[in-house]
């Protein structure tokens, strides 16, 4: 059974930084494993938006244009944890952030691709 536990959200001022964590279980990060792991967000009144993802096959990543240069996704295989480092946060980054996973790489920023979703962590950026 796949479980995704996101944490690290909070209230931060514009220009600040946060690092979100997603502790995974049921996914192995070995060189011959197949997975796609990503981060999505959902702001009030808006559709779910894919932020960043990584594919197991070649460790390639995808990042949406609105956060390029500010957000970075990385992983700690020993801890089976993926992270989303967020710098220079803006009020429009306010949303609930979700960690997602699927066993079908390559990864995509399309929400419907992912079978497994974590519970989400709230990020609020004040102006």
Give the strand pairing for 18-25 and 10-13: unpaired
User: Mean pLDDT over residues 76-80, rounded?
Assistant: 90
Beta-carbon count within 10 A of 35 CB:
21
Residues recorded for the chain: 127
Mean pLDDT of the chain: 94
Q: How confident is residue 68, by pLDDT bands cut at 50, 70 and 90?
A: very high
- Could you tell me the two tokens for 95? 């949303």
Q: Mind listing the pLDDT tens digit for each residue in 44-67?
A: 999 999 999 999 888 889 999 999
SS (H, E, C) 18-46: EEEEEEEECCCCCCCCCCEEEEEEECCCC
The least confident of 13-17, 18-22, 31-35 is 31-35
Coil, strand or helix at 22: strand
């Amino acid at each position: 059974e796949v479980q995704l536990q996101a944490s690290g959200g909070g209230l931060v001022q514009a220009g600040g930084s946060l690092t979100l964590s997603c502790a995974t279980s049921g996914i192995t990060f070995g060189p011959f494993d197949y997975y796609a792991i990503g981060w999505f967000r959902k702001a009030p009144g808006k559709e779910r938006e894919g932020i960043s993802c990584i594919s197991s096959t070649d460790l390639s990543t995808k990042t949406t244009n609105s956060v390029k240069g500010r957000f970075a996704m990385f992983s700690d295989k020993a801890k089976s944890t993926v992270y989303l480092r967020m710098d220079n946060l803006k009020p429009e980054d306010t949303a609930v952030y979700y960690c997602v996973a699927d066993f079908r790489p390559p990864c995509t920023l399309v929400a419907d691709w992912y079978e497994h979703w974590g519970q989400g962590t709230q990020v609020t950026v004040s102006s």
